[in-house]
Every structure is written in C-alpha cells, then in structure tokens.
Amino acid sequence: MTERCAALLCAVLLAACSNTEELRKAELGELATWLPGTYARDAADIAFVPVYAPFLSDHVFFAEESATDSHRQMLAQRIIAFDVIDRQIVQASYQLADPGRWRAGVQHPELFKSLMEQDLKVMAGCEMLWVKDGERFVGTNDRAHCRATRPGGGLAFLEARAELTADDYARAERWFDAAGRMIGGREDEALERFVKSGSH
C-alpha cells in the first residue's frame, strides 16, 4: 500500500511539473507575440524585431534604441533571447561585437541570418526572469550577479526591471558600485514607459 501511495504521489507531482512547464511555454508564446514592434517615448524609440537565430532560442529579438531626431542616432543595441528553463521564463541578453554591422537590422532583419556565436557577447549573470501578472508580464534580474558596462563607461552592478503589455513596454535601470551605492539611474525607481507605435 505504501509503495502504491508513493507511486501515485510521484505521478501527481510529475503531472503538475509537466502542466507548469506547458503553462510557461504558453505564456512565453504570448509574450513573444506581444513584444515585436516599435515603442515611443519622448526623444527615443525602442524597436524589438524577431530574428532567426536558432542556436540561441526559438524566440530571439534584435532590440535597438534610437533617438527620434532627424539624425536617428543609435543609442543602444542588444540581442535578447527567451526560453523556458526550470519552469521559468528566462531572458538572456547579448551585446553585439560589431554594432555598426547591424545598423539596418530593424529595417532588414534578414541580416541576422548570418549571425554567429562569435558576433555575440553574453551578459553573464544578467538574465531576467519574467512572470505573467494579470494583463502584463513583469521581468526582473538579480543585481548581485549582473556586472555590466554602464553608459559612459566603467563596470557596475545593474538592477533591471521591465514590464510588457499588449500596448506598451516599460523599463528601469539603476547602477550600483561594489559598496551598494547607487551611481546611475532614477532614485524614485519609476519605470520609463514606451507606447507601441508600430509592429514588426
């Protein structure tokens, strides 16, 4: 009887794990449907464009932030990839070794068919975990493990948060030194909100 109960309990736990995994994959599919597009805020736009890079994931995007003035200055570029790992939605971020090579990536995502591992530098420790919260997704990282180059140069610990809905994208980035003192970002922890203005 004890062995039968143990076997039944194992079966229930395995079914629960399987159901959780399938739920996370369904949520990731929804996130990947919402994310593509251009988001506008004040003097900057952020574009998320799906790209083909199966060696990273089935859900990979080129993210580019640019100024909205006549010069369209590129402010930042990244490759981001989403996957379900240990029943969690995980976002990995990569810096591009040669940003100029991908400058036309928003207009011509087919450029990324030539993307290779040597073109990327993973932002180790800066993974974001995303959860579905009502009608939005919320992403956070672990500041203690995310050491990256901050705007203006120099390494620091990055605390990143983001929110995504079907209509907008919001983010906040704050930088800290090794002693835990904030050296960049907003004191009030407010999110910068970008409104979707186009699709990709």
Domains of the chain, CATH where assigned: 2-198 (2.40.128.590)
CB 172 within 8 Å of CB 187 = no
Average pLDDT, rounded, for the chain: 89
For residue 45, the tally of other CB atoms under 10 A from its CB is: 20
**pLDDT for 13 beyond 70:** no
**pLDDT for 69 beyond 90:** no
**pLDDT for 140 beyond 90:** yes
Instruction: Please give the share of the chain, as a percent, with pLDDT higher than 70.
Output: 90
**pLDDT for 166 beyond 70:** yes
Overall pTM > 0.85:
yes
Least-confidence region, from 47-56, 100-109, 115-124, 146-155: 146-155
pLDDT score, position 11: 43
